[in-house]
Every structure is written in C-alpha cells, then in structure tokens.
Structure 1
Amino acid sequence: MPGLYFEEFEPGAIIDHPTRRTVTETDNILFSTMTLNLAPLHLDAEYSKDSIYGQRLVNSLFILGLVSGISVPETTQGTTLGNLGYEDVKFPKPVFHGDTIRVRTEILDKRESKSRNDSGVVQFRHYGINQRDEVVCECRRAGLMLKRTATESVNA
C-alpha cells in the first residue's frame, strides 16, 4: 500500500498499523553493538540480573526506529520528501526480548510548506504498544509530504 499524499492527511485521524514485530535478542545485540552502545544493561545478562528490571533491556533507539519504520507503509512510503525531526520522545515502559510491538499513529496537524509549493508538513504522533497494551514508546514527528497535485503536474 502506498503512503498518503499531503492532501490525504486529516488532523485527528488515527491509523492502527497492521504490522507487528516481536523483538529478539539478536535485534538488541546487533543494534547495540553496531551503534557502539555497549551498555551492559543491553548486552550483559549477568549484569542485568541485578538491575531493577532483572533482565536486559532492549535499546530504546532501536525501539524508536522500529516504531517509526512500522508506520511507513500506511503513511509515508513513496510520498515523503524526508523527516524533519522528532520531538517529545518518551519511553514510559521498558521493552524486553520477546515483546511484540504494534504501532498507532495519530495525525496531529498539517500545514503548507513555507518554502516549497510541491509539499506540506504533517505532524504525526506515534505510539509503540506492547502485547500487554502498554505504551513503550511515544514520539512526535514532522514529515515533509509530497502533494498529489505536484505529482500529477509532473505526470501530465
């Protein structure tokens, strides 16, 4: 399914994305080591046994990327000119190996671009939710979204 064009986003709309992903130990170890986050709380099972969680935590930046990525097919695939930024990122609950994450997106706002006539800015709020219906990640994201009218004039 292609993403939505600027004109198709409606503030207040909620999208429950159909894709879910179970987070694995391999995901956590590879992401943490590839990004040089060598915190023992992500990598060392023995160390983590004595933490407040009693086990390793999944790297929060992996979760942020996963939440953003799961949202792509129904929102921005093929219709974005780029991310403009993330704000207000929160991780209210920890994620552990074996947790399954689903994503809900709320369209907060949209406005015409001030510098481009082929696009507009859409404000998204993404929620990563685990199998216990707990929010594990929440963020606001701005995307520069292509207008359908811009693609129609190119293809005319």
Structure 2
Amino acid sequence: MSTLPASTHPRGGLYFEDFEVGATLRHRLTRTVTQMDNMLFSNMTLNPQPLHIDAHFCATETEWGKPLMNSLFTLGLMIGISVNDTTVGTTIGNLGMTETRFPAPLFEGDTVSVTTEVVAKRESRSRPEAGIVEFVHRAYKQDGTLVAECRRQAMMRKRPAAEA
C-alpha cells in the first residue's frame, strides 16, 4: 500500500500538492460502534426507523435479528476517520460524494477501519490557491468485510508560497 507524505500543516492535513494519484492510506484510527452511537445519531437526525433503534422489532421482523447501524452514521464515521491523516485544516470544502454504497451490514460491537485512495486530482479552474482531489474511502469491519464505500471530491488548499 503506497503512502502519502508527512504533513507540514500545523493541524496535520495534507496540501493539494501532497496527494499523489494511486496512493492509498490505511488510517491508524479505528472505532468500535455502539448502540448509543446508533441511538444518538438516529435521534439527532430525527430518524425513527425501527431497523436502527428497536431491538425487539429487529429480532422478530428482520433478517438481521438485531439493529443495523444507521448507514449515514457509517458514512460519517468513515469520512471522519480519514480526516486526521489527510484533510484536517487543509480542506476548503467538500464538493460532493458519489458512488456511495453499503455492501454489508454494520452492527453494534463491530470495529471499523478505513482506507483512503487518491483517484484523481486537478487544479481548480476558479481558485488559483486551490486544487480538487478525488478520494475513494472504504470502511471495513474487523473481519475485513467491506461495509461502506464512497467517492468524495474535496477542494484542497495549495501549499503557501512561503513553503513551496
């Protein structure tokens, strides 16, 4: 797995120039998800779906037998885990996410790990101080099963002229 260079940004994020197409990073940070994560996220987003919050419903009326982690929580966690190693302090803004999928379920007690692959980059046409980087983020549970994946485009700061 190819790596990305060490950050020179005070917060730890990488600049546009630091990203190389084809580089893949396995993030060191992992997280075991809990029932409380599911309940808090579902309540914060006003999502009453029993598939996420009702253990009895899941045990008696679903093929899973237990609550599924909310897929948008999984997506947010996957992106969040990637931030410390890649974009903290250097992202101007997210431009979009495509090809988002959840090929396998995630449950309370599963531990999530994440990889980020740099699949494209280009100069910004409208902002000379920025470039656009396209990432593919993948989340896995402890047995290596892929549970989430998305393609994300972010506008990234270029290295300040004093550092170039």
User: What interval of TM-score do these two structures reach, taking the shorter chain for normalisation?
Assistant: over 0.9
Q: CA deviation at 1:3?
A: 1.0
d(CA) in 1 for partners of 2:119, 2:13: 17
Q: CA deviation at 1:152?
A: 3.0
Equivalent position of 1:14 in the other structure: 24
Equivalent position of 1:37 in the other structure: 47
How do 1:7-156 residues align onto structure 2 when only pairs under 5 Å count? 7-50=17-60, 51-148=62-159, 151-153=160-162
d(CA) in 2 for partners of 1:34, 1:6: 34
Q: Secondary structure at the match of 1:152?
A: coil
- TM-score, length of structure 1 as denominator length: 0.95
Count matched residues: 153
Amino acid at match of 2:19: F
Q: Secondary structure at the match of 2:144?
A: coil
Structure 1 gaps, min length 5: none
| Root-mean-square deviation (Å) | 1.3
Q: CA deviation at 1:133?
A: 0.1
d(CA) in 1 for partners of 2:80, 2:161: 27
Equivalent position of 2:15 in the other structure: 5
- Looking at secondary structure, tell me which structure has more helix per residue: 1
Amino acid at match of 2:124: S
Q: After superposition, what is the alpha-carbon deviation per residue over 1:107-141, rounded to whole angstroms, capped at 9, x for unaligned? A: 00000001000000000000000001000000000
d(CA) in 2 for partners of 1:15, 1:133: 16
Q: CA deviation at 1:23?
A: 0.2
Q: After superposition, what is the alpha-carbon deviation per residue over 1:1-60, rounded to whole angstroms, capped at 9, x for unaligned? A: 611100010000000000000000000000001101100011111000020101100000
d(CA) in 2 for partners of 1:152, 1:73: 23
Structure 2 gaps, min length 5: 1-6
d(CA) in 2 for partners of 1:19, 1:74: 9
d(CA) in 1 for partners of 2:105, 2:90: 32
d(CA) in 2 for partners of 1:152, 1:20: 35
Q: After superposition, what is the alpha-carbon deviation per residue over 1:75-113, rounded to whole angstroms, capped at 9, x for unaligned? A: 101111011111000000000000000000000000000
Runs of 4+ in 1 over 6 A off after TM superposition: none
Identity %: 52
